[in-house]
Chain A
Amino acid sequence: MNALRIALAELWGLFVEDATLTIGTLICVALAAFVIPRVVIGAQWRGPLFFLAIVVMLLENVYRGARRP
């Protein structure tokens, strides 16, 4: 049981390290799924807009993460 718990924790760690990065990424995906298709008129801009949202979120996360305590 302990080995299974360790394995699951390691598996979780593959995808989640910084909680704000994970939440930010999932929010971007939710925006791409539910918001972008409704508000962006030109269909060809939907993919690039999603890409841009991820980049902005990453830059913001790095800026916050680089702060020395």
Chain B
Amino acid sequence: MSWLHASTAFVAAFLASLVECVEALTIVLAVGTTRGWRPALLGAAASAIFLVILVAIFGPALGRVPITTLQLIVGILLLLFGIRWLRKAILRAARVIATHDEAKIYAEETALMRSAGGASTRAHFDTIAFLACFKAVTLEGLEVSFTVIAIGAGGSLLVASLGAALAAVLVIMLGFVLHRPLSRVPENTLKFTVGIMLTAFGIFWIGEGLALPWPGEDLALLAMIALLLLFSALAVRIARGRARTTAPS
């Protein structure tokens, strides 16, 4: 594994995990402030344990799959996952679809939790709050786990895991300090960057799995990231123009 591959894997895992952790934090904060911190944090902790068990079960099994088969399968999944993010980020940047708004999601979740009823008392455990946090952290955590495993499939699993862990620690610390959603995080820009990186990784792994040679080997990954950035900027312009010409007058 080259330093180039390792550093790209680290940055991609860090940024992807940052986005997912910010989204999970918004829900945990909304639930915690309206229904109480005990069930909210217990839900988040139970989800973290559940995810660790899942990774412990499925992680070693991946080691038994032949490397080219693994690269092909992981590459296809990573490409489907990354290109979905990239398409959405392009359409958001072109203002064709609404941008992700953590403050709005926080307000909606807070209102939902307030209207749900049956809050925690000493005698009664708040199952709604527990499940809301468990579900949110599990869904975002599954995306983080998949991204880390997929990016690290070529031997950089430890580096990718470190990137994801750093993002999680950073978001948890900020959540503890600020006690409000991280609405100033430029989420669409992050998703744009991550979408480009995951798409490039996916294409690269598929190529490796199918034995398609890459000019410059690992350097091709950087070239693909740069080219995808250029083509995505072009796509934003195309989408803006298209939306303008087809808008009802």
Known: A54-B79, A54-B203. A17 touches B88 (CB 8 A): yes
Contact B81 A15, beta carbon cutoff 8 Å: yes
- With A and B bound together, what is the CA distance between A30 and B103 in angstroms? 42
The answer, yes or no, to whether B123 is at the interface (CB within 8 Å) is no
What DSSP secondary structure best describes chain B's contact surface? helix
For residue B214, which residues in chain A have a CB less than 8 angstroms away from its CB?
A: 47
Count residues on chain A whose CB falls below 8 Å from chain B CBs: 34
Task: List 24 A–B pairs whose Cβ atoms lie within 8 Å, in order of A's numbering.
Answer: A14-B84, A15-B77, A15-B81, A18-B84, A22-B80, A25-B83, A29-B206, A32-B206, A32-B210, A32-B212, A33-B210, A51-B227, A54-B79, A58-B87, A58-B235, A59-B238, A61-B87, A62-B91, A62-B239, A63-B238, A63-B242, A66-B242, A68-B243, A68-B246
Q: Which residues of B contact A (CB under 8 A)?
A: 76-77, 79-81, 83-84, 86-88, 90-91, 94, 96, 139, 142-143, 146, 199, 203, 206-207, 210, 212-215, 220, 224, 227-228, 231, 234-235, 238-240, 242-243, 246-248
Across the A-B interface, the 6 shortest Cβ-Cβ residue pairs: A66-B239, A66-B242, A15-B80, A46-B212, A47-B212, A68-B246
